[in-house]
Structure 1
Amino acid sequence: MGEAAVPYLRYVALGDSQTEGLGDGDDTVGLRGWADRLAERLAEQNPGVRYANLAVRGRVAGQVRAEQLEPALALRPDLATVVAGVNDMLRPAFDADEVAGHLEAMFAALTGAGARVATLTFPDLAAVIPLARPVRSRVLALNDGIREAARRHGVVVAETYGHPVVTDPRLWSADRLHAAPLGHERIAAAVFQALGMPGGDDSWTLPLPPPPAGPPVRLLTTAAGELRWAGTFLGPWLRRRLRGGSSGDGRAAKRPDLLPVLSGQG
């Protein structure tokens, strides 16, 4: 398709580890992630698309606003995605209104500068991480805040909450905090559809094929798996928080400049 199919030429992504791409590649081979995948889909329809990714892992919504908004505005995007808030939800002192306020400030600034802005709602974390049941109410409250802020500023919302496939374990990496490659692919497809792009559809909501039949899962096995997960992933995360640290300490954006998405584009 030609340039008329994709009205966006300057795409800038703001956010935390999900937008950076954790769970889709690694720091050795490089991270891909849903924002990269979205940029690739846009570039398939218009090779002239340029893309910057300012996201940094571990950032809470206020940090995304403080550190990424001004650089994003300086790049003069005609399309921006803003996704943040999970790191806030997992902290003891969580205020859904405060987090939604930071997101709304970014929505207002970016749309005010002429950008089309897209965001998404978050899945029920308790369906992915049983130990996260206490934060279910936080997910609901933040999603409501995101929807209201988006409505006030004409921001596109990809509604990932409520679709059973979004909590399929095969869409999540081993830490269950970040999407696996297949999960990142589905998120990109959700945002692509929400933007009303040619070729976008709701196929991303379809369930995965049933897994191969295996032995029945015993309660003891499930409990042991939860304990292993807590020791391997939750424990280190909590220790960093107690020490006031973050997985993003000392890190910078992986793609701070608008660059061609496809090789060979000048």
Structure 2
Amino acid sequence: MKYQRFVALGDSCAEGLDDLLPDGQYRGWADRVASALDAPGFRYANLAVRGRRLDQMLVEQVPSAAALEPDLVVLFGGGNDVMSNATQEQIAQRADAMVRAVTSFAPTVAVFTLSDISHRMPFGRRMRPRIETLNAAMRTAASRYGAILVDVEADECVHDSRYFGPDRLHLSSLGHRRLAGHVLSALGIPFDESWLAPLEGKAASASVLDHWRWLRDQVLPVAYSRTRNKLIGRQPGDGFVPKRPQLAPLTWPQRVSR
């Protein structure tokens, strides 16, 4: 099927963190998917904003997406819900509401499960039941409302540090390329199959010093920032805007194909 109006919704992963281009802009799996879909008349918008939960996307991103009248919407969300203090019931309700809303106006919708990153994060075991709840809810909602499920829960790349950025949470360029491959495969769109090929060799093991630096440079600053923002009433993502708020032709397809 030929798609001409593609809209990406979601959080920092859909925005493209940590797939950094030389000019300082973020690329990401959605830009890569857009490049594979590019053809005369094709237009692409990316309404994702880092830090946003599913309930916030429902209010902030869905109305804007509906107004664009897309023929394809791909949603990546739920990670911030999993890391918040939301209950499992709230996470399941948010996932159902989001998928129901998007499928009400877009003829083709793709949604994701999440890989189990709990082993990569401090106190990650507390996250695991929420991840399982989110994934179950996404599977149920996809079946109920006719969405395409991009099921990456069992993808073994989650155990390879090369697929992740410095914070061990956001995807690296390799990770975004792989995720784009999963999306295109689910949509039945031809793509470079090397995107889904396993990396050769094994990632270098992290030393005790590496773990300490990660804790100092990545974990503690984020924990401090979240605590400070909570005290002053700020939400993660406040002050950020979508990088492509309107449907527009691609002007850089050669940059995102690599």
TM over 0.5: yes
Is 1:150 matched up with 2:138?
Answer: no
Matched, 1:210 2:198: no
Distance change (3 Å), C-alpha of 1:227 and 1:199: closer
Partner of 2:104: 112
Equivalent residue for 2:154, pick from 162, 170, 192: 162
2:247: which partner in 1? Answer: 258
Taking the aligned partners of 2:37 and 2:108, their CA distance within structure 1 comes to 14
Match of 1:57 in 2: 50
Confirm whether residue 231 of structure 1 aligns to residue 220 of structure 2.
Answer: yes
Deviation at 1:209, TM superposition (A): 1.3
Q: Structure 1 residues 162, 30: closer, same or farther in 2, change over 3 A?
A: same
Amino acid at match of 1:224: W
8 Å contact 2:149–2:186 — kept in the other structure?
yes
Q: Equivalences for 1:19-98 in 2 at 5 Å?
A: 19-25=14-20, 29-43=24-38, 46-92=39-85, 94-98=86-90
Q: Which amino acid aligns with 2:244?
A: R
Q: Indicate how the Cα distance of structure 1 residues 23 and 222 shifts in structure 2: closer, same or farther if over 3 A, else same.
A: closer
Taking the aligned partners of 1:27 and 1:61, their CA distance within structure 2 comes to: 31
Greater Cα offset, 180-189 or 228-237? 228-237
Amino acid paired to 1:152: R
Per-residue deviation, 1:193? 0.6
* Residues 59/37 of structure 1: CA separation in 2 closer, same or farther (3 Å cut): same
Amino acid at match of 1:250: G
Is residue 20–residue 56 contact of structure 1 (8 Å, CA) maintained in 2?
Answer: yes
* 2:201 alignment partner, SS class: coil
Identity across the alignment (%): 39
Q: Is the 8 A contact 2:6 2:43 kept in 1?
A: yes
- Tell me the C-alpha RMSD between the 2 structures: 2.6
Residues 204 and 127 of structure 1, relative CA distance in 2, 3 Å threshold? farther
Q: How far is the alpha carbon of 1:128 from its aligned partner?
A: 2.6
Alignment counterpart, residue 117 of structure 2, candidates 125, 142, 148:
125
Residues 72, 108 of structure 2: 8 Å contact kept: yes
The structural deviation recorded for 1:144 is 0.5
Distance in structure 2 (CA, Å) of the matches to 1:182 and 1:238 = 31
Instruction: Tell me the matched-pair count.
Output: 252
- Residue identity in the other structure for 2:240: R
Counterpart amino acid of 2:164?
W
Distance in 1, matches of 2:214 and 2:240, equals 30
- Equivalent-residue separation in structure 2 for 1:57 and 1:69 (angstroms): 15
Residue 242 of structure 1, CA deviation: 4.7
Q: Normalising to structure 2: TM-score of the pair?
A: 0.86
TM-score (norm 1): 0.84
Residues 184 and 125 of structure 1: CA distance in aligned 2, closer, same or farther (over 3 Å): same
- Structure 1 gaps of 5+ residues are 1-5
Number of the residue aligned with 2:229: 240
2:188 alignment partner in structure 1: 196
